[in-house]
Structure 1
């Protein structure tokens, strides 16, 4: 049998990848796609980037654009009837120039490495509170869902304090945020966006009310600072402000939640690394960087060709979709030695999880600080922590993470 006969067709692999079973463990399917090369044509107007070099270059290519409103008109007829995508295209994550640069410039200083360093005492306090919360639950002796009680609870507490979201409101935001992230997965029937639409409408109403409250009663929080800057400069419209605060809440809680969930699970699976996390502060950042490469919270990013172009020898026409499977790029054997092995001591870990170029993740520094702060505290306080059974993942592929993570704390 020839090599061509043994390779699965890319479309067949994608169908399996998008099935509930495929989303539970997509990595073998990424390798089936990689067998066709670093850039795989899925049809006349859709390509998949699975190689590290292809993904990295696509993230910086000026003609490969974010799926803003104009690009969505080319790719997804009928999207304007769905408020999930209407709101998404109003924020900086799904914008192109000049709107992207204008909005990112407005928010970027608040999440710079320098600004985030000043948040460290607050993050440490909330990390201690998160561990104490688990201590209270551990007194009952049963299993605990770490997603609900820790990996969501801690990042949203950090965001809540930064943005002045009342503590009582934080648990209720979890199902709203979770529903919104489903809108970013591929859908063949736009009717499947209805739960995300309802959640986005609810979040928009909530953030609009939060802005009104903080404008009337400003404080030392970032929401108040953003309102003052907007009102004084006019750089953003009120709708821009609301849309981007919504994006901060969703992206700033869901991805850190999934990073932390994967980090806890992998540490439990590798007791030798858990012990190094407990005693060696310098090791923690290397461990988390490898989690970001090996099992990232974001698996795919979408781009659309804004013009006809040639990319790695492939002719791409305007309006064609290029899906960047960055989780596959993170395991490219041409870039990483033994990529299927979890190795926190590997050199040159240039993972793609936080994107690159103009759309490099605005919250990367805060996500790293938060995880580096809370993970050692958790493992030192609960050295016998154990995951119960085989943890499952949500039925999602773009934003991938645990739906539940039952554990005994010991």
Structure 2
């Protein structure tokens, strides 16, 4: 093994890598590590995770669309056949809440669920929310503008995405703080090296979250409203309605995915822009410049770094053979930094025009909430800089120990 940093060792010949994802020097700024992997070992076996990962843009982009790989495996093979352990009893309610998650299903179930909710998330529908998003952002800035300082995540970034997705789904806005708490505990299940305490917190969150959603479903079944939940309850697809279990899983994944990554990305983007030294007035001079700036922040500091796939049939990727039941990880954030696709990849260049970033995935599991997240970012970030000229970082931002997500603990600003 060749030691690259105190937390990274690798053998380019065997393509084996040792990488401590809990080392603050890594998760605080993973990009230099991704650059080293691109240079020495772009497809690698991560010993601590016991599986293969790909970082190359072309390989990740292709894998996201490759139907030989999927988010689900038990629809084609049994646990016994694959040698998989039985579900953990202390995660019974978490597993139940995940059982019909859009993120975890393959066709035909995935197609049926996604068809029922996709219409609400297409760009032309989402665009109608622009005035609402701007009004909410302005109201929040009004509340702290006179103070001359703020902690941006708690006063701004946390509030906007959860409020907007709650409005869309049909959840009362006053539930926002509770939704955030459930979501933070819930997604703890997806961190590397999660602890039993993380699992217990996720189980409690899933139990409470599902019970709450079932109550709202009963209300909307009796008295439909003009919201996405009522639409999902009362709309048929080929003669079928969604079951309550399907509705619970779908609402939970929409509320979690509908804000968690966007909260991270607002903080990541504002920090990146302030540290770049570039002029915000120029970055946001018009809609096209704003869009390029937002996409470049998504490329260089993505909020979600890894997505896994199960191998559904024997396949070979970059010279590595996979058997049915194997897992492979795609490092989306590293693919966005592939020097073969993005010259000078670690440099923030909003004028780039090389390729689409993969921060929202691709293929049938492309993030359904991407149009909403993009609209929120394109509205609220320019507004923040326009309303608070002289905005600057007050204290060095702290990054959360939540890899494979990437977001800040706090972002203290003044002006």
Q: Structure 2 length as normaliser, TM-score?
A: 0.89
| 2:46 counterpart residue number | 42
Paired residues of 1:394 and 1:400 also in contact (CA < 8 A) = yes
Deviations 1:19-46 (A, max 9, x none): 3442222222223333443311336962
Q: Give the Cα separation in 2 of the matches to 1:31 and 1:93.
A: 29
In the superposition, relative to structure 1, how do residues 295 and 85 fare at CA in structure 2: closer, same or farther (>3 Å)?
Answer: farther
Within-5 A mapping of 1:7-406 = 8-9=9-10, 14-42=18-46, 46-67=51-72, 73=79, 74=82, 77-81=85-89, 82=91, 83-120=93-130, 124-141=131-148, 143-187=149-193, 192-229=198-235, 233-406=239-412
Paired residues of 2:296 and 2:350 also in contact (CA < 8 A) = yes
SS at match of 1:403: strand
In the superposition, relative to structure 1, how do residues 192 and 15 fare at CA in structure 2: closer, same or farther (>3 Å)?
Answer: farther
Mark the runs of 5 or more structure 1 residues left unpaired by the alignment: none
In the superposition, relative to structure 1, how do residues 397 and 385 fare at CA in structure 2: closer, same or farther (>3 Å)?
Answer: same
Paired residues of 2:145 and 2:388 also in contact (CA < 8 A) = no
Deviations 1:137-159 (A, max 9, x none): 23344x32211111110111111
Q: CA RMSD in A?
A: 2.5
Paired residues of 1:72 and 1:79 also in contact (CA < 8 A) = no
Report the structure, 1 or 2, having the larger helix content. Answer: 1
SS at match of 1:157: helix
Mark the runs of 5 or more structure 2 residues left unpaired by the alignment: none
Q: Give the Cα separation in 2 of the matches to 1:96 and 1:236.
A: 16
Q: Give the Cα separation in 1 of the matches to 2:42 and 2:284.
A: 38
Paired residues of 1:85 and 1:183 also in contact (CA < 8 A) = no
Paired residues of 1:113 and 1:365 also in contact (CA < 8 A) = yes
Q: Give the Cα separation in 2 of the matches to 1:157 and 1:65.
A: 32
More off after superposition, 127-136 vs 223-232: 223-232
Paired residues of 2:283 and 2:350 also in contact (CA < 8 A) = no
SS at match of 1:304: strand
More off after superposition, 372-381 vs 61-70: 61-70
Q: Give the Cα separation in 2 of the matches to 1:189 and 1:170.
A: 26
In the superposition, relative to structure 1, how do residues 72 and 302 fare at CA in structure 2: closer, same or farther (>3 Å)?
Answer: farther
Paired residues of 1:145 and 1:407 also in contact (CA < 8 A) = yes
